[in-house]
Each structure stands twice: as C-alpha cells, then as structure tokens.
Structure 1
Amino acid sequence: MRFFQICFMVLCLCACQPKEYTLHLVGDSTMADKENPEFNPEFGWGQVLPEFFDGNVTIVNHAKNGRSTKSFIEEGRWQQVMDDLNAGDYVFIQFGHNDQKTNKPERYTNAYSSYRANLEKMITEVKAADATPIIFSSIVRRNFNGSGVLEDTHGAYPFVARTIAKEMNVPFIDLQVSSEKLVNELGDEPSKALYLWVPADTNDYFPKGKQDNTHFSKQGAQAMCQLALDEMKKYRFNFLNHLKK
C-alpha cells in the first residue's frame, strides 16, 4: 500500500510541474539578436521576445543578419537548427527580406520556385522531427511615398509564404498585414520611432546618425514582438500560457 501511495504522490508532483517549451527562431536581421545591446540602438524582434515569457520558455535565436532561405540553408545554419531540435519544440520561420535581392545571387530566391521549395523543406523536416513549424511573413518596411502612402516592398513573398502554410496545414502569422496596419495608423513621421532613425550626434554607436526603414529600435522591436504574440494567440499555443502578466 505504501508503494502505491508513493507512486501516486510522484505522479501528482510531476503533473503539477509546469511544462517547459523551446522556441527556435529562424530568420533574418529583423528577427536576429544584435551585438552590444547595451549600446547598440538596433534590435530584432526575436531579441526582445524572451522579455515576454517566464522561465518555462527557452528561446534559441538562430536568426542572422542578411540571410535568406537559400543562404541560411547553404551555410549549414538550417542543419544546426535541426541538430538542436527536439520533439515538441517550435520553430518560427521568417524569411523574405533577403530572398528578394536579385543583385545578390548568394541570397536571391524566386518567390514561386526556390523560395517556395526552401520553405517546404523546412516545414517538412520540422514536422518529421515531431516539432511544430510556424511560418511568419516579413514585417513591413517603412516606405511612404511622396503622397504619404505606405507602399509594399515584398511583392509575392508574403503571398507565397501564406499559400505554403495553408497547403501544408501549418500556422501562419501574418506580420506583413499587422505591421502595415500599425505603421499606417501611426503615419509617416511618428512611425520613425519604431525603426532605426537616429539623429546625428545623439548616439555613439551611430555618431553620423542613421535613417533605416527596415530595422527596428528597441521600441519598434517590442511593438513587432507584441504583434506576433497577438497573432499567435489565435492559435492558442500552449507556450503562450507562460506569458508574463
């Protein structure tokens, strides 16, 4: 009888222990960790993601500046993700900014062929490892024209990512749409605060200043991260139970 009581107590203790989750982030500079964060005003949204979770969620940020699906795979970075992956993990996949660069053959992929094939490869391999892939569209560039209209810069890539996610039955987080809405609501001038707009002689990291409509300030990274989390809540992922209140 004593043996069964001990077994029951052990089972109860195990059941009460919060489940731990690992999120692997795969993408480009808009997601990546930046060097010298105590001085560098540039942040990726994946860099600030750990701030939103308690200690039961581990975030492994594999994202790197300047990478496309092609270069990420060819440099062996994707294989490293797969080597680190365990059953039950999640993989956030966000590419497009660099896949579209036709002047950089080491990065460029055609949206309808090689970009599509690379995303399909990633999804298939993550599923085969009993992990969960989540596809993200790219975040909008702050690209207002002379009439104050925010123009698209990503072409077919978000559409292809959305299509693949639907066809392969994986979650799709449309940051292209949600970030475009946010930037439009703020407008041309106020939206600069979300991006890497640094006046000259105000920051030692960029003493000459910086006008960058692709990458984010810490405020911008936090805002984009919140958009991602809001979109993910639609899927009710279990790891979201560990968001800080």
Structure 2
Amino acid sequence: MKNIFQWILFVFSVVVSAQKHETTDHSQEKTCLYLIGDSTMANKPDPTNNPERGWGQMLPELLGESVHVHNHAVNGRSSRSFIAEGRWQKVLDSLKPKDYIFIQFGHNDQKRQDSSRYTNPYTQYRYNLERFVKEARSKEAFPILFSSITRRNFNENGVLIDTHGAYPLVTRMVAKDLKVPFIDLQLLTEQMEISYGVEGSKKLHLHFAPGENPHRPNGIVDNTHLSVIGATLVAQLALDELEKQHIKF
C-alpha cells in the first residue's frame, strides 16, 4: 500500500513538472515583432495627455499578449539616418529566427534640405531597403515592407494630392524584386482620408485651436501625424491587409 501511494505521488510530481515546463515553453514561443521607421509609426511620450500617436504604438493593444512589439521607429528618421545612428544595427543584433520586422521609411528620406537624411529614391533609398531585407533574412527573420502613410493634403477642389513622389513606388519595386510581403499603406490611407472627406479627415490628425488642447496650448494644424483615432485606424488597416495576405503572428 505504501509503495502504491509513493508511486501515485511520483506520477503527480511528474505531471506538475511537465505542466510547468509546458507553460514556460509557451511563454517563450510568443512572436516578436520589430518596427523600424519614422514618426508616423513611433511611440509618443506621455500618452495620457498627448493627443498624438504613431500607428505602431497602437499595435500592442490590437494584437494582444501573444505578440511582443518592439517599436524602434523614431521621430524624424530616414532610412539613411536610422542606419547612420546605429539604430538598425541594434535591431539587427536583437533579431532571432522567426521574428517579424515591419519596415516603413520615406517621409524623411525626401528631405532635400538635409544631407544627413535625404536619399535618392532610386539609388540610396532602394539600397537601404534592400539592406534591411537581406540582413533581416540573414537572421532568419521575416521582413515586411510598408509604403508611407499619406498626408492629409487636399487641394482647393477637395482632391487628395500625393506628397511622397517615387518613394512608395520604389518600396513596391523592392518588395517585388526580393519577394517580400508589401503593405501599401499609402493606398489604404488615401482611401481612408478620402472616405472621411476634407473636414472629417481632420480628426485623423492633429487639428486644435489655441487653448483647445492643454498639450498643444498654442494650437496646432498637423496633417502628417496621427491622432489616437487616426493611429488606431491605420494600425487596423495594416493588420487587416496582413490577414488578407495570410500573414498571421
């Protein structure tokens, strides 16, 4: 009888140990998602009071606890300055097999007045995107290319006018040539802006009169960066398109 009792205790301890091990392994299997890009994607400080958000900042809430989001996007960075400042190397050193990485540049690559950020879309910009993709793949990670979100730039006739020139096209070309998943956020956000209309689309961005928002006491008219509503919608557009392409985390 004593031997039977000891055997039962032994089996129970083995089962408990296995369950603990399974739980630990499960937590280690969480998907890691890295983001590199500019201010439209970046985390913004003081989210309690700050009306501005990057669309990457909204991903943790939308994806849930099964995905670890590491947002390395930074305000004002181009593909060139992101590399020059060592930010890409830091991300690359952190990448592990089966990690995902979202890549979105272009807004600041077009800054012709800034030699530290500007890139020719057909040469240096393309080369930088190819570098991100190839080096991420060398770590057995999965890169995904995104075109820049559109700016709210309606003309006097209510027509939304592009401001990004060749950069989204080159991103698409790199994705095609290197067989990388491509999310056309420019198209998706153009459709979103147009659907909200000239006036309604202001809520997607930062439009405050003086005194209207304590975080922007002098007021602001910013048609590039996103409000909480705008950032959430853009993040959801990105995730919906990924699902259409059968990319699941």
The equivalent position to 2:200 in structure 1, one of 180, 190, 194, is 190
Matches within 5 A, 1:3-22: 14=22, 17=26, 19-22=29-32
Bigger share in helix: 2
Alignment of 1:116 with 2:126, yes or no, is yes
Give the drift of 1:235: 2.3
SS of the residue corresponding to residue 200 of structure 1 reads coil
TM-score (norm 1): 0.91
Give the drift of 1:197: 1.0
The equivalent position to 1:23 in structure 2, one of 33, 42, 45, is 33
Q: Which residue of 1 aligns with 2:6?
A: none
Q: Which residue of 2 aligns with 1:242?
A: none
Amino acid at match of 2:146: F
The equivalent position to 1:68 in structure 2, one of 68, 74, 78, is 78
Q: Which residue of 2 aligns with 1:164?
A: 174
- Cα deviation code 1:157-207 (max 9, x no counterpart): 000000100100110000000100110111110000001112221111110
- Cα deviation code 1:56-90 (max 9, x no counterpart): 10000000000000000000000000111111100
SS of the residue corresponding to residue 110 of structure 2 reads coil
Give the drift of 1:238: 3.0
Q: Which residue of 1 aligns with 2:217?
A: 207
Q: Which residue of 1 aligns with 2:95?
A: 85
Q: Which residue of 2 aligns with 1:137?
A: 147
Give the drift of 1:237: 2.2
Cα distance in 2, alignment partners of residues 174 and 27 from structure 1: 15
Alignment of 1:56 with 2:56, yes or no, is no
Cα distance in 1, alignment partners of residues 136 and 110 from structure 2: 24
Consecutive unaligned residues in structure 1, runs of 5 or more: 240-245
Instruction: Count residues with an aligned counterpart.
Output: 234
Q: Which residue of 2 aligns with 1:243?
A: none
TM-score (norm 2): 0.89
The 8 Å contact of residues 100 and 142 in structure 2, kept in 1 or not, is answered as yes
The equivalent position to 1:217 in structure 2, one of 220, 227, 241, is 227
- Name segments (4+ residues, structure 1) moved above 6 Å: none
Amino acid at match of 2:61: E
Cα distance in 1, alignment partners of residues 195 and 244 from structure 2: 22
Cα distance in 2, alignment partners of residues 39 and 185 from structure 1: 28
Identity %: 51
SS of the residue corresponding to residue 106 of structure 2 reads coil
Cα distance in 1, alignment partners of residues 243 and 206 from structure 2: 28
Structure with higher Rg: it is 2
Q: Which residue of 1 aligns with 2:5?
A: none
SS of the residue corresponding to residue 224 of structure 1 reads helix
The 8 Å contact of residues 242 and 248 in structure 2, kept in 1 or not, is answered as no
Q: Which residue of 2 aligns with 1:32?
A: 42
Cα distance in 2, alignment partners of residues 213 and 161 from structure 1: 23
Cα distance in 2, alignment partners of residues 64 and 198 from structure 1: 24
The equivalent position to 2:138 in structure 1, one of 110, 124, 128, is 128
